[in-house]
Chain A
Amino acid sequence: QQQVKQSPQSLIVQKGGISIINCAYENTAFDYFPWYQQFPGKGPALLIAIRPDVSEKKEGRFTISFNKSANQFSLHIMDSQPGDSATYFCAASGGSNYKLTFGKGTLLTVNP
């Protein structure tokens, strides 16, 4: 049972464009939603996180939008750069279970 569904699997964006990655979750007990960025040969690095009491959180070029009624959240990367090319994972945790449940990942390629 996949509790966090992430789309698209891969995404190609031109430099300067907006990258959008979406995630949907099933467990309504989730109350913490982080995004991780992973480069080849490296572990996932925490990018930005949100709790359901806010609808949007912005850090630099990265924004999380949260839609509690639809059980969905998304990552927007503004002014995408070639250096943003990486795999992005959404995740969720909460309730009595502190483990992170991850989406399958999105391979982002930003063309120069």
Chain B
Amino acid sequence: KAGVTQTPRYLIKTRGQQVTLSCSPISGHRSVSWYQQTPGQGLQFLFEYFSETQRNKGNFPGRFSGRQFSNSRSEMNVSTLELGDSALYLCASSLIPGGSNQPQHFGDGTRLSIL
């Protein structure tokens, strides 16, 4: 069974640009969560989608947004990029919304660098 697939793996952008990252969950998984990983802040929750609806949102500015399609694939978008947005963006999927007894499986992430 294929794991969580994230594309692209690496991305270089400049300040002020916008970026869209893609995530294909494990087949049959319907919940997708996004996390930002940085050396200073560690792993921080961005948002979670289930059945094309955002169910939960972390403490990030409105420049960070996402969506989920009917096939459970998800995209996240970051507009007006700032230097501090440089990070590894991770997608995790689970059968149904995560939490108790619902393991979340991560992809290998998209490394976003802002110049």
Interface residues of A (CB under 8 A from B): 31-32, 34, 36, 41-46, 49, 51, 89, 91, 93-94, 97-105
Assuming A89-B43, A102-B42, A105-B42, is B100 touching A43 (CB within 8 A)? no
In the bound complex, do residue B101 and residue A98 qualify as a contact, i.e. CB atoms below 8 Å apart? Answer: no
Residues of A within 8 A of B33 (CB): 99-100
Chain A residues touching B, majority SS: strand
Name B75-115 residues within 8 Å CB distance of A: 90, 92, 97-109
Residues of B within 8 A of A42 (CB): 108
In the bound complex, do residue A43 and residue B55 qualify as a contact, i.e. CB atoms below 8 Å apart? Answer: no
In the bound complex, do residue B105 and residue A46 qualify as a contact, i.e. CB atoms below 8 Å apart? Answer: yes
Residues of A within 8 A of B58 (CB): 99
Residues of A within 8 A of B42 (CB): 89, 102-105
In the bound complex, do residue B4 and residue A100 qualify as a contact, i.e. CB atoms below 8 Å apart? Answer: no
What are 25 of the A-B contact pairs (CB < 8 Å)? A32-B100, A36-B106, A42-B108, A43-B90, A43-B106, A43-B107, A43-B108, A45-B106, A46-B105, A51-B101, A89-B42, A91-B43, A93-B98, A93-B99, A98-B97, A99-B33, A99-B45, A100-B33, A100-B35, A100-B43, A100-B45, A102-B42, A102-B44, A104-B42, A105-B42
Chain B residues touching A, majority SS: strand
User: What separation, in Å, do the CA atoms of A102 and B44 have in the docked complex?
Assistant: 7
User: Quick one: which of B48, B101, B103, B109 contacts A99, CB cutoff 8 A?
Assistant: B48
